[in-house]
Amino acid sequence: MLYPIATESRVVVDLSGIWKFMIDKEVEHIEVSQPLPTNEVVAVPASFNDQALSKEIREHNGYIWYEKEFKVATALRNERLVLRFGSATHEAWVYLNGKEITHHKGGFTPFEVEINDFLADGANRLTVRLSNLLDYTTLPVGNYSEEKDENGRTIRKVDENFDFFNYAGLHRPVKIYTTPRDYIEDIVIVPEVDLASKKADVKIAVKTAGTFDEVRVTILDEDGNQVAQASGNDLNIPIENVKLWQPLNAHLYTAKVEGIKSGESIDVYEEAFGVRKVEVKSGKFLINGQHFYFKGFGKHEDTFVQGRGLNEAYNVLDINLMKDMGANSFRTSHYPYSEEMMRLCDREGIVVIDETPAVGLFHGFGFDLSGKNAAATWSELKTKEAHEQVITELIDRDKNHACVVMWSIANEPASHIEGAYEYFEPLFNLARELDPQNRPCTLVNILMATPKEDKTSDLVDVIALNRYYGWYLQNGDLEAAEKETRKELLEWQEKYPDKPIMYTEYGADTVAGFHSAYGEPFSEEYQEDYYRMNSKVFDEIPNFVGEQLWNFADFQTKFGIMRVQGNKKGVFTRSREPKMVVRYLKDRWTNIPHFGYKK
């Protein structure tokens, strides 16, 4: 799926701004043939939860309505008109002038629909019914229940089976874009580089709708200079003296694709891409033939007021904070991030582990890590269809991004329980079949899935571990935590000597401004001591290839006695103010080279 851009042949209309809004109390039928009966408003893109000073709205579980009027310029009416949602969390029914035109389930990937046949002259009324409900068939997984109140009204409840707030809404831009009636439908770019000769063969497949006499592809460098040109739908275009896309040193080429008829360029699309080589070999992660070391974060799309909604200013700030610390990477925990963020990472040279929203695949997940009901996970959860869908949609969306070096199929599933291998094997096969660039795949491993207990580690290319020795286990006893950390990493190294190992989560809740002469848990001193302990062990393990801490910044979660205004494991506060540990991490990471740290 192509990202909507304006070109010589395409126009983009952004419907961001103020929309009518209401929660559905399910007391009376909402008639979509009429305007929504509400005077409430909400901003798009953003979560709805934190925009209204209403506990009822913020904690609403069920259905939500959005509505906006728009007009289409007469000059565009003969073009193909496409309505596109960057995402709608978690399920959407879309109506135009009272008629349902599309439906999509899954809150973190885009969907679109042609609207020419549904448009009216003058004003058009776009209505969206959303659901923020999650259950044992959805990703993420939610614990769903319902009951009737004294008036017979259905009261719905979702208890998140994950540790972040269930923000919902139109989180990403809603746009209308145009194409000609004959148009470029999709582009697949696969660069294959010969590092020794500094030459790349760029395989480009163009899918078109309608008829063209010629499909012309022109490769441009960053200065707009033409470096190659060829015609056809399936091409292999050589680039001599190729400039590589490198971590924190990105070079982006542009494939300008034109559909030509009678000598005239009918449709034009421009797709940026980077040339780089990603491999896993002999226990190392290689980018462009060099041993790469991941330095960075797990993070969230999470900001004040906008919740999980797109905030490009925060995206820019976050990337700048990462670069200032010497970081080079992050994981899109625990769902696909916005296309705008992925495009920014391409531009800035940030390495990304791209993760599906498969979080909560652990029956009875809780802070005590007891896993009392975990044995029922693979018989109780019915997420296979949703999982296949999101893998397909994620790879279709992000297939051409240079920043994406690995797919994460799930976060912290019950992979130590019988049935896990049988569940995940076809999903790994699907991802490897769909990805034209054949990137490595991983599954982010939970604490209970030790080398002896895990059932899925044979499937992964990189062993990605979430570990909290010194926090959820051995809390306050970093000496004991160090021993357990070292012991387990050596066990993984011995069991899989040819697989790279990295931490994709490790951290300690820390209250900004709380200090302790004794290094007590929750103090800024303990957080720094915790990270120093882990760093010491990481440097001892030959195949340890990266550290992505948890979390980049404090973030909102559901209420509970373990959380005071959210998760405090951030090394920055939610407003991006640094905690004391940032100075230590900056010193460490700026002295660790991106390449060649582990020989």
3-state SS, 109-125, equals CCEEEECHHHCCCCCEE
Residues 445-458: tens digit of each pLDDT = 999 999 999 999 99
What distances in angstroms separate CA 218 from CA 140, 184, 270, 506, one per listed residue? 41, 14, 9, 45
Whole-number pLDDT of residue 560: 82
Helix axes 312-325, 581-590, angle to 10 degrees: 60
Residues 138-197: tens digit of each pLDDT = 999 999 999 998 888 899 999 999 999 999 999 999 999 999 999 999 999 999 999 999
pLDDT band at 559 (very low <50, low <70, confident <90, very high): confident
Residues 75-96: tens digit of each pLDDT = 999 999 999 999 999 999 999 9
Question: Cβ neighbours of residue 391 under 8 Å, at least 6 residues apart?
Answer: 356, 407, 409, 427, 430, 431, 434
pLDDT band at 562 (very low <50, low <70, confident <90, very high): confident
pLDDT band at 410 (very low <50, low <70, confident <90, very high): very high
Q: How far apart are CA 322 and CA 82, in angstroms?
A: 36
Residues 218-253: tens digit of each pLDDT = 999 999 999 999 999 999 999 999 999 999 999 999
496 in helix, strand or coil?
A: coil
Q: Which two tokens stand for residue 257?
A: 């694709």
Bridge partners of 267, per DSSP, are 259
Q: Which residue out of 112, 301, 348, 505 is catalytically annotated?
A: 505
Whole-number pLDDT of residue 145: 95
Residues 20-32: tens digit of each pLDDT = 999 999 999 999 9
Contact between 428 and 459 under an 8 Å Cβ cutoff? The reply is yes
| pLDDT surpasses 90 at 528 | yes
Whole-number pLDDT of residue 371: 62
Q: What percent of the chain has pLDDT over 90?
A: 94
418 a catalytic residue: no
Distance of CA 589 to the CA centre of its chain: 24
Contact between 145 and 222 under an 8 Å Cβ cutoff? The reply is no
Cα–Cα nearest to 195, from 256, 112, 120, 279: 279
What residue type is 21 in one-letter code?
F
412 a catalytic residue: yes
Q: What phi and psi, each to the nearest 5 degrees, are found at residue 232?
A: 140, 165
Sign of CA dihedral 200, 201, 206, 212: positive
What residue type is 294 in one-letter code?
F
Q: How far apart are CA 526 and CA 248, in angstroms?
A: 31
Q: Which two tokens stand for residue 158?
A: 């979702």
| pLDDT surpasses 80 at 373 | no
97 in helix, strand or coil?
A: coil
Distance of CA 156 to the CA centre of its chain: 28
Helices (H) and strands (E) in the chain, counts: 9, 30
Domains located in the chain, CATH noted = 12-179 (2.60.120.260), 183-273 (2.60.40.10), 328-466 (3.20.20.80), 468-599 (3.20.20.80)
| pLDDT surpasses 90 at 433 | yes
Mean pLDDT of the chain: 96
Sort 594 into a burial class: Cβ within 10 Å, 0-12 / 13-18 / 19+: buried
Average pLDDT of the residues in 294-320: 98
Q: How far apart are CA 334 and CA 403, in angstroms?
A: 17
Q: Which residue out of 91, 160, 412, 528 is catalytically annotated?
A: 412
Whole-number pLDDT of residue 367: 66
Q: How far apart are CA 485 and CA 497, in angstroms?
A: 17
| pLDDT surpasses 80 at 372 | no
pLDDT band at 509 (very low <50, low <70, confident <90, very high): very high
pLDDT band at 531 (very low <50, low <70, confident <90, very high): very high
Q: Which two tokens stand for residue 309?
A: 């909604």
Q: What phi and psi, each to the nearest 5 degrees, are found at residue 41?
A: -130, 160
Q: What percent of the chain has pLDDT over 70?
A: 99
pLDDT band at 561 (very low <50, low <70, confident <90, very high): confident
Cα–Cα nearest to 317, from 83, 553, 494: 553
For residues 555, 342, 405, 87, the Cα torsion angle rounded to the nearest 10 degrees is 70
Contact between 532 and 580 under an 8 Å Cβ cutoff? The reply is no
